[in-house]
Amino acid sequence: MLLILDQLNQLLAAAVLIVTFSLLAYIAMQNWRNDLARALLVLLTGVVVVYGGDLLLARATRASTIEFLARAQWLGIALVPAAYIHLANGLLAIGDRQTLAARTRSLIPLAYVGSIAFFLLVALGTDLVVRGELPSGPIAQFRPGPLFWGYTLFFIFSAITVMIAIVASERTALTITQRRRLRYLGATFAAPGIGVFPFLVLGAPSATPTAAILLLQAIASIIVAIMITVMTYSVAFQGVLLPDRLIKQDFLRWWLYGPFVGISIVLFMQVVPLFEQLLGLPQNTLLTFGVMLMTVLMPLFVSRVKPYLDALVYMQDQDEIDYLRNLPRSTFTRADLRALLENSLVAICGALRVEIGFVAAPTNDGSYTIKAVCGPRSDVKRFAAEYPLDDLMPQLEQLPARARDTLPPTDAFLYCGGFCLLPLRSPDGLFLGALAVAYAPEQLQRGGSLAPETRQLISILAHQMELALSTVQMQQRIFDTLRGLGPEMESLQQLASRLEQATPATINTLDSDLILDPAFPQLVKEALTQFWGGPKLSDSPLLSLRTVRRMIQDQGGNRTRALQTVLRQAIANLRPDEQLDPSAQEWLLYNLLEGRFLQRKTVRDVANRLAMSESDFYRKQRIAIEEVARQLALMEDSER
């Protein structure tokens, strides 16, 4: 019985260690800048040290190693009270209890110094905190020294401080969501204390049955694992300007790929000796097959479970999320378009027994480019150089539109430079481009016209090309709209999170937040207009941005140069990926900003370079400046 309980305790200790370490890594990666999160990191570190020490002690056999590990565990035990006071200070700060927060802030360094002092007294082998040699057995512990009771009072004081801070913060919380999270924290904050405090040092373990102590330890490990998970979940939201659903999804995904997989592997390794006895196979063999199965099966299981967990997170938005999740599979991308055009060209050229063909379509700036080619590209380039597409396409656009589901008439084709060209149009008659094949005059039939079956083949495949081109154009407009709305949606999400976490102290700062001012884009425009000098730059309200204030020191105290650097960075953030089509809207806006403001070119020069009218230039400039304003807002939020 004792052996079973001891094995169970080791398994549960390993589970607590995996859960705690995974949550520690999650907080460290997601939210370490927040003061509450940093305090939680110290608490979780203490739990990791103590439970890691328990596992090592269960396997150690040398007396010196056991002594070393038992004393090293006190690093985690001693850190928890200081981390509690640190946590209390963060709670009082967000709860608008500035007086109490100032008092506890001064206690934080003292608390950490006290924790380190207690640890050093134990680690150096003194008998002031704990004394005696560590006896053998699953519940072995030191005996209390004269200063152990001082540590106990320190621990109790820190726990009471956290409890007071949680109650005070919960009373001042403005939103129901914030109060609910603080209640979660209030119900679970004791988990690190339960997990690390050396209760056996207080009492007399010999007077209590060993089985009862082991059973209580097992129950405590289960409670600690659950409470630490909920505690980390409640702190994970603090200071993170993301919607609840995203944080919940990240947290659940992390729990699946971290603690769940880790505990499953540890559980499997614990039962390997049992299978070794039942099957009579070597342990290494079983471990090899087990690792192979776990590597394959665990990701499959997680992928099966994840949609159900997402359904709980997105309960009210399930239809929208399901549609967006499946959208990549149904989207007809540019790569899909190029493949369809090239395959259609190959089919047409094969049917006509010609070698060369191409499809031309307009770009975002109104010019024309080759979208797909069949055959030698050099011949197509030679044709495009001799007959510029920008001159040839308007002629095609003037040709009569062909009726749907009928053979195209002979006058629907344009014969030019050895190529037979057919205009492509959308269902509503909008010109989309042209299909061209190198169909020589001597190949023409019936006095210079294409045969009906040939025209029918071209008509069918051209219709598919038209459908593809119009679909991609429509999708591109939708994507451009969504891309333009992206910063606004992110800002709204952050504003919603800030309001959700608001306190009486922070709610008053919203009206002074410059990026929320409706005139913010106009201020950005004025600063860009005088980017190289002027009162609208040197006296701009944008100088009050956090990103600018942080940059002032790097610029030798020059406020104007700091603002120039931040504006230049915001424009650089808009630079598209090199793989993006050079005619895309993103490149157009970036080149406009760079030429007009960074290179100080005139409106006429930039408009001519980008092949647009001046009136179109000013419309694009307004959009580009709004994009810069969105980038500044994102930079400001990240700085916050």
Full DSSP string of 226-263: HHHHHHHHHHHTTT--S-HHHHHHHHHHHHIIIIIHHH
Residue type, 196: V
Mean pLDDT lowest among 101-105, 332-336, 369-373, 457-461: 101-105
The total number of residues written for the chain in this structure: 640
Structure tokens at 320: 């929208």
Is-contact 115 79, C-beta < 8 A?
A: yes
Mean pLDDT, residues 208-220: 81
Mean pLDDT, residues 357-373: 81
Mean pLDDT lowest among 185-199, 266-280, 403-417: 403-417
Mean pLDDT, residues 344-351: 80
- Is 275's pLDDT higher than 90? no
Structure tokens at 294: 């776990």
Cα distance between residue 401 and residue 619, in whole Å: 32
Is residue 446 very low, low, confident or very high in pLDDT (cuts 50, 70, 90)? very low
Percent share of the chain, pLDDT over 70: 78
Is residue 208 very low, low, confident or very high in pLDDT (cuts 50, 70, 90)? low
Cα dihedral 114/24/166/150 (nearest 10)? -20
Mean pLDDT, residues 395-418: 70
Is-contact 611 583, C-beta < 8 A?
A: no
CA atoms within 13 A on the CB side of 311: 5
**Architecture of the domain delimited by 2-241:** Up-down Bundle (1.20)
State pLDDT tens for residues 586-625: 888 888 998 888 888 888 888 888 888 877 788 888 888 8
**Architecture of the domain delimited by 334-474:** 2-Layer Sandwich (3.30)
- Is 447's pLDDT higher than 50? no
Cα distance between residue 387 and residue 382, in whole Å: 8
Domain ranges of the chain: 2-241, 242-324, 334-474, 513-639
- One DSSP character per residue, 48-84 reads HHHHHHHHHHHH--SHHHHHHHHHHTHHHHHHHHHHH
Mean pLDDT, residues 282-297: 81
Is the fold of 2-241 the same as that of 334-474? Answer: no
**How much is the pLDDT for 444?**
46
Residue of 155, 236, 152 lying closest to 201 (CA atoms): 152
Is-contact 417 387, C-beta < 8 A?
A: yes
Phi, psi dihedrals of residue 444, rounded to the nearest 5°: -70, 150
pTM: 0.59
